[in-house]
Amino acid sequence: MRVCVLGLGQVGLPTFQAMRRFHPETSGVDTNRRLVRKLAGAGWPVAVRAERPEAVEAWVLAVPMGPGLSALWQALSSIAPRRGALIAIESTIPPGTMEQVRQRFARRGLAAGRDVFLVHCPHRVPPDREADVLETPRVIGGVTPACLERGLELYAPFAGFLTAFADVRVVELATVVENSLRYLELAFAEDLKLYCDRVGVDFDDLRQAINAKGDGKVMGVDYGIDGEYLPKNVGFLAEATRSPLLKAAVTADEAYRESLYRRLAGFEAVLIRGPSGRPGSLATGHSRAVELARRLAAAGVMVGLDAPSLRPQDVRRLGLFGPDGWEYEAVVERGRVTVNGPSGADAKPGRPRAESAGKSTD
């Protein structure tokens, strides 16, 4: 089957590479010219626009959604599918999106299940496990039974880990609900952490006590609920369900982040240590740690960032300092703030560290 994957980012690239193992005529398209040059230089059949689109039998969309699903609609508008082509959306989408896709093609004179075949098969692979794209359990749904049948032909290599559903809305909701559940767990942990701070209870000790039982688990906290997917997905579900529970979870996360900022804003120099996330997410606005660092820096605090996944030049590009060579009044790691005393008689926050600082006196 001749396949074209639109979008070669975090979702699209591993999908593209996996597709080629079973559909050798698979090609890839991305608007990022630098990425395309890099992949083409490595021998991958990619381009900034589809070659011979009239020959493509299946289009796989793995594009970011964009505000108001703008990127998805733009990608769909760029496709001129031949009659009988399959269009599979791998990106996570809000409930009701596939019906909107059906209507858009209907306005173009293409009936779902006859002229064009529409399916949704969300990626569902964690960002740090792209190699598992063939081994992660997947779900798939079609706008019509005929659409689902055609979708299964494309995704047959995943058959051992693929579950089909007649109602595509079930599939739309699956990943959104999965990520929203995790968001709720994290928001609960953040709210519990704030309570522990107010009453002087060690949050980590409390977690250890609860989790020791084995049948319950309280998540750890970080710098807020970050990443691109969890906040976006809880937003999708909150808009669809109007759930007060989801709204309260978003409010809890905002309160936790505001509390952490207010606690650190009183220091002259703060080191933010160990933020989680891929280098791209840390540098492109999906990191709550970087968001906190920039907000503190804007308030006049000298901020250091100790992120193993970022190079020193990346840290400087963010307008922040590295972890070494300076005295920091406070160090924050996964929500725990440690206040440092001076390491030398003349040590001052924000000044270069004395040569003897940090050395053992044994």
Q: For position 123, what pLDDT does the model report?
A: 85
Average pLDDT over residues 93-115: 96
- Evaluate if residue 159 carries a pLDDT over 80: no
Q: For position 346, what pLDDT does the model report?
A: 36
- Evaluate if residue 109 carries a pLDDT over 50: yes
State the CB neighbour count (10 A cutoff) for residue 39.
20
More confident residue, 24 or 352: 24
Give Cβ neighbours of residue 183 (< 8 Å, ≥ 6 apart).
Answer: 225, 230, 231, 233, 234, 246, 249, 253
Q: Which domains can be identified in the chain, with CATH numbers?
A: 3-166 (3.40.50.720), 169-213+231-257 (no CATH), 265-362 (no CATH)
pLDDT per residue over 223-235, tens digit each?
Answer: 999 877 899 999 9
Average pLDDT over residues 293-312: 88
Residue 226 CA to residue 287 CA, distance in Å, equals 5
Average pLDDT over residues 345-358: 39
Q: For position 139, what pLDDT does the model report?
A: 94
Give the global pTM: 0.84
Give Cβ neighbours of residue 181 (< 8 Å, ≥ 6 apart).
Answer: none
